[in-house]
Structure 1
Amino acid sequence: MLTQMIPEIGHYALVIALLLAAVQAVMPLAGAATRRPLWMAYARPMAAGQLLFVAIAYACLTTSYLLDDFSVANVANNSNSMLPWYYKASAVWGNHEGSVLLWSLMLAGWGYFAARFSRELPRDMVARVIGVLGLVCVGFLAFVLITSNPFERLLPNMPQDGADLNPLLQDFGLIVHPPMLYMGYVGFSVVFAFAIAALLGGRLDAAWTRWARPWTNLAWAFLTVGIALGSWWAYYELGWGGWWFWDPVENASLLPWLTGTALIHSLAVTEKRGAFKSWTVLLAISTFSLSLLGTFLVRSGVLTSVHAFANDPSRGFFILVLLGITVGLSLLLFALRAPRVSHQVGFTWLSRDALLLINNIVLVIMTVTVLMGTVYPLLLDALDLGKISVGPPYFNALFVPLTVIMCVFMGLGPLSRWKRMNGRELWRRLGGAAVAAVLIGAVAPLLYGGEWNAWVAIGLVAALWVVLPMLRDLYDKARGAPSWLAGLRRLSLAYWGMQLGHLGVAVTIVGVAVVSNYNIERNVRMGPGDSVQVAGYTFTMTELTSRRGANFLADRAVIEVQRDGSRRSFTMNPEKRLYIARGMPMTQVALRPGFFRDLYVAMGEDLDDGSWAMRVQFKPFVRWLWLGALLMAAGGILAVADKRYRRLATARDPEARGDAKPREAAA
């Protein structure tokens, strides 16, 4: 009896969570505005209660999947009794309704932890931050209950079995990619809440940026890993060997990452120098707004994409209204409050301040470039002005040069000084690195089989220009200490996080440049006994077999691979699967990964004469794409661990404690 009531329990838990979110939104904000401590005290218990009831709802939906309760429409449409349990658990977020519920759970979780780890912040600031997060939670929980209820029943005409999870999603990638991506998206809501709270309280000082920096770095790290996992998943799952296609939904995740990267650097300048205050707030608003835009693109039905979940105009309209309210009210508040902020911090154009500003401008231009290429075709179609397709040629032609320009300023930044710097001193410190980067980057492609490629050379020069100044900076900082080890140990975790993040960018650029230009691909017909040579490797199909999986049938090729000049060989087993419930064919590629290269084999179509269409690829340095992303994310997490980032208020900072009236509010 109890198991039959699980969906109703989940539904009512969502209703209670919505009511708690409404109280969380209203009472703390009203208390901060009227200076009533009792009202402000509602913030933390309401955030905890909301998380509890959203978690109950999520647990109920997961239980319905694991128990094969096909009376729930969401379970019947996205699961099957033959589906392995771990795919049933991940199928919860493999559809529109479940993914929005997961989003709401993570939003409630971020809100709870923001309340939990903000006990040293001023009471009114905490109330405003949690209140703003409550408003966002109200919007998403209302979206779930009104348009995307995951607990709708099919009674009394329930099916005997489910329609099954889309075979594209029956993969480890579904288990790890969406949660990581959503953690990044939703994490920026905390930074957004801090920015709005600072505007409401008139406290646009260095204190709020110091409070917001750990949350920004953490959200950015999650989003970085999420994007990398999506790229890796597409690489081996879709069977064509691509790692980025400039798909509109891929672009939707890149947009907040770009502005989030700019926000990290802008927060640093605002905290250290008191500059870029308005710019920092605008970036915080823009980053979360772009996260909401990504949600709209994926769930509105305006896009046709392998990544898109929903195709319901009512849902798209709801998200569009939520996006419009969030962006509109935020920008209105910014327009009213930002002019009161005084900027009395000066710097020359040859300084770290200026270089970070230029780098941020480049990142914003990159964002606008991707945004226009993604949204412009949709606007034309919506206005009945025709249909156009914007593909990789447009993005590569604009994005690649902008990335090179960004790398130029990334190399200059670490060795420059705040406020002003002498040009001769900068050249003295960077001249050797510049010459070495150009020489090594230009010569290195010749070592790759003697084939020189200009784009690879440019990519290597850019990557080296990022790395070599970092090494010079490490040398300068360590040489004054009693020993090199002592000099390196005294450097802060935030510094090491910055270096690791920049190193990750360089590693990714090397991977992109090499695999994009030195990739070798052969599309061939192969049957038992047939061979093909690719990049010094001989691929021989020795036999064809069949096997049955938990919910699919598969034709399997046995490919023996031997490197020229070597006696050793290994086996690769690509498959062509047919998923029984949906009757949908899928390609399961065979990979032989390596640090410097991947071997990639995918089965195409059965050619009816005992042979198959096969795609064989040699992909050099492709792993460096994801290694670079992991290094970037590790850099962000390392920065969060820095004790300086957790220094929230001091006895000498009355504004940070809330004991004095902020200068901006009094201006």
Structure 2
Amino acid sequence: MSAELGQFALILALLLSAVQSAVPMIGAARGNRAWIALAQPSALLLFGLTILAFGALTQAFIVSDFSLSVVYQNSHSAKPMLYKVTGVWGNHEGSMLLWIVILTGFGAAVAAFGQNLPPTLRARVLSVQAMITLGFLAFLIFTSNPFDRIFPAPLDGRDLNPLLQDPGLAFHPPMLYAGYVGFSIAFSFAVAALIEGKVDAAWARWVRPWTLAAWITLTAGIALGSWWAYYELGWGGWWFWDPVENVSFMPWLMGTALLHSAIVVEKRDSLKVWTILLAILTFSLSLIGTFVVRSGLLTSVHAFAVDPERGLFILFLLAIAIGGSLLLFAVRAPTLTAGGLFSPISREGGLVLNNLLLTVATSVVFVGTLGPLLLEAAGTKISVGTPYYNAVFLPLMVPLVAVMAVGPLLPWKRAELGAVLSRLKFAGLMTIIAMLATAYLVEGGPVLAVAAIGFAAWLFVGALIEWSERIKLFRVPLGDSFKRMTKLPRAAHGMTLAHAGMAVAIVGMTGSAAWQVEDIRIARPGDNIEVAGYNYFFESMKPVQGPNYQAEQGNFIVTRDGEFVARLTPEKRVYMVQNMPTTEAAIHTNGMRDLYMAVGDSDGRGGWTVRIYHEPLVPWIWAGCIIMVIGGTFSLSDRRLRVGAPVRSKRWQAKSGSGQAGAQA
């Protein structure tokens, strides 16, 4: 019965989204306040209906209702409860329903918390959001219905993909989707602004918190995904430039550019047209990522859909959403008023360079990701991997990191570069010290890795210098600096943390790429293996019974110079329902390095394939991501972003209302 309730809720949501798409938009054009007012309650009700449908599907997974095809294909009665619940979005149909729930959730948030928005702008934003929802609800109901019944109902299910039965994958997809879908609000604001023909500082102030919320969750989602790949897949790496990874990375790059561009619109009333275009392109990349993963172009643990009809449907939605918005941009963008002028050497100029580098970097990833797929469809197969990105993408990051330290110190409109660089003398000194210390510790190389550590130090110290100058640290009494710090806008603290977090992550990425030590061999119980100064004693292999899997667990004692360091217990699991093996790595960390182990197949003669990695600085990658997320959250909590534009007085609203009434009369 719950399945029928969920199906009914989806159908009602489809009809309601059609109404919300049209009526408030027409009302805004005609000045009809009753039609404009419909946008808010319909957005809240639409969210409630999708939540009801999602709850019905979740209940079906919890009680193991195998009469539903999606439950039969992706669950099993012996599966732990956590993975019964996460199985809801561990498949194509359920993940698309989650996508829609988050989409309507953002719309409901605008309806509930967007009281300071002009009514016509809010109506248009919610109408555009409903149009996106309408398309994806139609896709879900007509091509990917999660409530399809099968008869007779099987006694048990086929289980969830074992690779997805992991706590990291329980939280990674919702965070990633919240980032993908969150950019839809910036897209809706951009389209609404083009329709109204008005982009100003207030518009940028309204867009920034929604964009920032999407950026925070997408950052967290990508970090969780890389952490899962690191400890679950057993290959010792955290990023492979896989197309599924890249399609989440591209919106992140473009969204970062959008965040910085919106600051220029808000502070200096410049870059209006460019910011609108970035908002459209950022969400367009999210849609393209959905198409790539859901169309059957890819075969991976993340690519649930293999039905060409689904791919064609999403391609049709892409053509309407992206093509329509770009056409509207081409027609309406020239009518937007130009902003203020500024010198190339200024904070605006620094943010423009930031945008340029991020946009080119996104284009590089776009070509490397979709180029091979398009060529393969045309009959030519090529492989694009790490060498391409090392040669093309990484050089773009060097000037970007350099600008990240300089840009915040530049004044608006016009600046003297020499004066700014003189304030970064200490950062330059620390850069040289960091490079010399690194070269000494690693005996000279690789040279590019040593330089990367230096750039990270430049960025980190530069961020601290900018923050310390805001509070006049060491230039006034410490008590006064403390008072200035408490009065500093949270967005300023957030920027410092985000830039410092990026520096920390760069150190981790460099260390893991340049100085990883790998040893792969066949080993038997009783063997000693020496890797990077650590001794791994292979004590034994023993069978382990899990709730829905069987495993062979290795026992290794790690010592250094005769001193005990850790006991590592990697596993080779076989999930019984699907008879699928997985690797469970064992990791010991001290914050500066990871000792990483994975066991593979037996050679049938008492030996086992053993992978051992010494991973210097790799924990810094996720520490840096956490710092960036904290920095973004600090910025999001800034009162200026929470308040948005000033609330109009009741007297002004009364005058406006009487004016509209007179105009209608």
| TM bucket normalised to smaller | over 0.9
Offset at residue 652 of structure 1 (A)? 8.5
Contact 2:350 2:403 in 1 (8 A): yes
Q: 1:419 aligns with which of 413, 417, 442?
A: 413
Counterparts in 2 of 1:212-291, with a 5 A limit? 212-291=207-286
Q: 1:529 aligns with which of 526, 540, 543?
A: 526
Q: Which residue of 2 aligns with 1:665?
A: none
In structure 1, C-alpha distance between the alignment counterparts of 2:101 and 2:158, rounded to whole Å: 26
Contact 1:444 1:457 in 2 (8 A): no
Offset at residue 546 of structure 1 (A)? 0.6
Q: Which residue of 1 aligns with 2:375?
A: 380
In structure 2, C-alpha distance between the alignment counterparts of 1:418 and 1:26, rounded to whole Å: 42
Q: 1:329 aligns with which of 302, 324, 331?
A: 324
Counterparts in 2 of 1:140-155, with a 5 A limit? 140-155=136-151
Q: Which residue of 1 aligns with 2:290?
A: 295
Structure 2 counterpart SS, 1:93: coil
Q: Which residue of 2 aligns with 1:503?
A: 500
In structure 2, C-alpha distance between the alignment counterparts of 1:511 and 1:126, rounded to whole Å: 43
Offset at residue 16 of structure 1 (A)? 0.7
1:467 aligns with 2:467: no
Offset at residue 434 of structure 1 (A)? 2.3
Offset at residue 441 of structure 1 (A)? 3.1
How far does the alpha carbon of each residue in 1:317-353 deviate from its partner, in whole angstroms, 9 at most, with x for none?
1111111110111111111111012224111111111
* Amino acid of the structure 2 residue aligned with 1:440: I
Counterparts in 2 of 1:386-465, with a 5 A limit? 386-437=380-431, 439-465=432-458
Offset at residue 593 of structure 1 (A)? 2.3
User: Quick one: structure 1 residues 652 and 12, their matched pair in 2 at CA, closer, same or farther if it must change by over 3 Å?
Assistant: closer
The 4+ residue runs of structure 1 with deviation greater than 6 A are: 651-654
In structure 2, C-alpha distance between the alignment counterparts of 1:167 and 1:58, rounded to whole Å: 23
Structure 1 counterpart SS, 2:29: helix
How far does the alpha carbon of each residue in 1:478-508 deviate from its partner, in whole angstroms, 9 at most, with x for none?
2265533123222110101111111111111
1:591 aligns with 2:623: no
Contact 1:247 1:305 in 2 (8 A): no
* Amino acid of the structure 1 residue aligned with 2:340: V
Q: 1:51 aligns with which of 27, 47, 51?
A: 47
Offset at residue 372 of structure 1 (A)? 0.4
Contact 2:50 2:101 in 1 (8 A): yes
* Amino acid of the structure 2 residue aligned with 1:530: D
Structure 2 counterpart SS, 1:626: helix
How far does the alpha carbon of each residue in 1:427-476 deviate from its partner, in whole angstroms, 9 at most, with x for none?
32123422431x12321223435353212211112111212222222332
How far does the alpha carbon of each residue in 1:248-273 deviate from its partner, in whole angstroms, 9 at most, with x for none?
01000000000000000000001000
Q: Which stretches in structure 2 are left out of the alignment for 5+ residues?
A: 660-665
Q: Which residue of 1 aligns with 2:93?
A: 97
1:198 aligns with 2:193: yes
Contact 2:231 2:585 in 1 (8 A): yes
Counterparts in 2 of 1:647-662, with a 5 A limit? 647-650=643-646
In structure 1, C-alpha distance between the alignment counterparts of 2:468 and 2:221, rounded to whole Å: 34
Counterparts in 2 of 1:533-544, with a 5 A limit? 533-544=530-541
User: Quick one: structure 1 residues 344 and 294, their matched pair in 2 at CA, closer, same or farther if it must change by over 3 Å?
Assistant: closer
Structure 2 counterpart SS, 1:487: helix
Cα RMSD (Å) of the superposition? 1.8
Structure 2 counterpart SS, 1:619: strand
Contact 2:342 2:413 in 1 (8 A): yes
Counterparts in 2 of 1:142-181, with a 5 A limit? 142-156=138-152, 158-181=153-176
1:188 aligns with 2:178: no
Taking structure 2 as the reference length, the TM-score comes to: 0.95
Structure 2 counterpart SS, 1:388: coil
Structure 1 counterpart SS, 2:343: coil
Q: Which stretch shifts more, 359-368 or 520-529?
A: 520-529
How far does the alpha carbon of each residue in 1:375-398 deviate from its partner, in whole angstroms, 9 at most, with x for none?
1111112233x1111111101111
* Amino acid of the structure 1 residue aligned with 2:463: M
In structure 1, C-alpha distance between the alignment counterparts of 2:4 and 2:89, rounded to whole Å: 19
In structure 1, C-alpha distance between the alignment counterparts of 2:3 and 2:581, rounded to whole Å: 33
- How many residues get paired? 652
In structure 2, C-alpha distance between the alignment counterparts of 1:199 and 1:571, rounded to whole Å: 61
In structure 2, C-alpha distance between the alignment counterparts of 1:418 and 1:212, rounded to whole Å: 21
In structure 2, C-alpha distance between the alignment counterparts of 1:222 and 1:652, rounded to whole Å: 32
Structure 2 counterpart SS, 1:602: strand
1:518 aligns with 2:515: yes
Counterparts in 2 of 1:328-347, with a 5 A limit? 328-347=323-342
How far does the alpha carbon of each residue in 1:293-335 deviate from its partner, in whole angstroms, 9 at most, with x for none?
0100110001223321111111011111111110111111111
Contact 1:481 1:487 in 2 (8 A): no
Q: Which residue of 1 aligns with 2:663?
A: none
In structure 1, C-alpha distance between the alignment counterparts of 2:417 and 2:98, rounded to whole Å: 52
Structure 1 counterpart SS, 2:393: helix
Q: Which residue of 2 aligns with 1:664?
A: none
Contact 1:255 1:371 in 2 (8 A): yes
* Amino acid of the structure 2 residue aligned with 1:409: V
Q: Which stretch shifts more, 422-431 or 358-367?
A: 422-431
Structure 2 counterpart SS, 1:557: strand
Contact 2:523 2:607 in 1 (8 A): yes
Structure 1 counterpart SS, 2:507: helix
Q: Which stretch shifts more, 511-520 or 415-424?
A: 415-424
Offset at residue 132 of structure 1 (A)? 0.7
Q: Which stretch shifts more, 606-615 or 303-312?
A: 303-312
Q: 1:561 aligns with which of 554, 558, 563?
A: 558
Q: Which residue of 1 aligns with 2:662?
A: none
How far does the alpha carbon of each residue in 1:604-654 deviate from its partner, in whole angstroms, 9 at most, with x for none?
110111110100111011111111111112111111111112343337899
Q: 1:612 aligns with which of 595, 608, 627?
A: 608
* Amino acid of the structure 1 residue aligned with 2:287: L
User: Quick one: structure 1 residues 615 and 18, their matched pair in 2 at CA, closer, same or farther if it must change by over 3 Å?
Assistant: same
* Amino acid of the structure 2 residue aligned with 1:515: S
User: Quick one: structure 1 residues 343 and 296, their matched pair in 2 at CA, closer, same or farther if it must change by over 3 Å?
Assistant: same
Q: Which residue of 1 aligns with 2:313?
A: 318
Structure 2 counterpart SS, 1:223: helix
Contact 1:455 1:513 in 2 (8 A): no
Contact 2:187 2:280 in 1 (8 A): yes
* Amino acid of the structure 2 residue aligned with 1:491: L
User: Quick one: structure 1 residues 427 and 209, their matched pair in 2 at CA, closer, same or farther if it must change by over 3 Å?
Assistant: same
